Amino acid sequence: EWGVNGYTTLEVGVGKAFATISAAWNTLKGKVFKSDVLIKVFDGTYQWDSFVLENQPYADRIRIEGNVTTPANCVIAFKPSSTLFSGGWIIRGVRGLNVSGFTLKGASAVDNWPSRLLRLDTSSTVESDAGTMVFDGGARAVELLGRSTYTAANSVFKNQLEIGCIVYTSSIATLTGSVFTGLGKDASSTNPSGSVFASSAAIYATDNSVVYSNGSTASKYSRGVYAQFGAYVSMTDSVITDSNTGIFATLGAHVMANNVAATSVNASFNADSRSLISATGATATGAVVGYLASFMSHITANSSKAVSCATGYKAQVLSEIEAATTSTASATSTVKYAPATTATLGNDNAMIRFS
């Protein structure tokens, strides 16, 4: 048939018309859609090779659905290739697709190394219903590049060896209210090629990309947020725990971290190399340095707190920290401010304005 003339459901699973999502998808290629299509994946654990979805101009009329109530009941576990890597689920040049109700799983072992669980590239646009996606394992959970956009509020990211969500090249991820749990702030991993990775992150944004992850939590990563090369990350009203660095912005990045609480983090808010962090109302607890601005960077931290930190606020090398109304709330830090006098240059022409 040349077209889809009425609402159509394509069933995927054991004993169903299609064994894989790819098989169902491919039957739709070249057809004109007059109605919507549901690719329904029934409960089960599917051991699949990496697969690519592409070449579908009517993707905005397609929904790929597992179990939106209990995503743990519909698992896609990626098998390794002959080189022991897996590319995961790749969506290429597809716009308007909905993918909801899945646990994507990678074994993350030296004999089964999913490079990522979900990859969007070539200006893809995909949305997942809020609270219906779990990303378990893999080196990276979600990877966006080539001006792609992914929206998946209230998602779960856990057990990634490298990065929860990595966003490149002017791509946009919206992951508000999500939970990121790594394998430990000092954890390292070795892939089948022998490469060692020891700088994990919940969110990694680069090359003018954008991430919205307000109201989220991140724990057990080397860095909660790593932003560089003009990237913008908004992670306000969030919690970061048990990490080496809470928020790290470098090389012209900007991170919105207002009202973020960083606990058991060595360096809570770190702006470096012409970068900006907005941390109004934030709290750094038990850090070596609560708020650190270096190399022509700026942190706005008015009404913030540095609780029981070795150094609360430190600016160095032509940098500045705005820290109005912080002195009383930061009294338990060993050194509250460096430079120690408000609006006075020190530490290589840096300044903190505090009260």
> Would the pLDDT of 180 be above 60?
yes
**pLDDT confidence of residue 111:** 60
Q: Please tell me which residue, 4 or 68, carries the higher pLDDT value.
A: 68
Predicted confidence band at 323 (pLDDT cuts at 50, 70, 90)? very high
Question: Rounded distance, CA 353 to CA 343, Å?
Answer: 5
**pLDDT confidence of residue 262:** 97
Question: Rounded distance, CA 202 to CA 223, Å?
Answer: 7
> Would the pLDDT of 283 be above 60?
yes
CA atoms lying within 13 Å on the CB side of residue 54 = 11
Residue range 126-159, pLDDT digits in tens: 999 999 999 999 899 999 999 999 999 999 999 9
DSSP output for 23-77: HHHHTTTTPEESS-EEEEEPSEEEEE--EEE---TTGGGEEEES-SS-GGGEEEE
Q: For the whole model, what pTM was predicted?
A: 0.96
**pLDDT confidence of residue 5:** 77
Residue range 201-248, pLDDT digits in tens: 999 999 999 999 999 999 999 999 999 999 999 999 999 999 999 999
Question: Rounded distance, CA 254 to CA 250, Å?
Answer: 8
CA 334 to the chain's CA centroid? 33
**pLDDT confidence of residue 59:** 97
Q: Are 282 and 314 in contact (CB under 8 A)?
A: no
> Would the pLDDT of 108 be above 60?
no
Predicted confidence band at 257 (pLDDT cuts at 50, 70, 90)? very high
Burial class (CB in 10 A: 0-12, 13-18, 19+), 135: buried
Predicted confidence band at 112 (pLDDT cuts at 50, 70, 90)? low
**pLDDT confidence of residue 9:** 97
> Would the pLDDT of 347 be above 80?
yes
**pLDDT confidence of residue 197:** 85
**pLDDT confidence of residue 110:** 58
Residue range 82-97, pLDDT digits in tens: 666 778 999 999 999 9
> Would the pLDDT of 117 be above 80?
yes
Which of 6-15, 79-88, 110-119, 233-242 bottoms out in mean pLDDT, i.e. has the lowest?
79-88
Residue range 270-281, pLDDT digits in tens: 999 999 999 999
> Would the pLDDT of 2 be above 70?
no
Question: In sequence order, which ranges of the chain are alpha helices (DSSP H)?
Answer: 21-26
Residue type, 115: S
> Would the pLDDT of 193 be above 70?
yes
Residue range 289-318, pLDDT digits in tens: 999 999 999 999 999 999 999 999 999 999
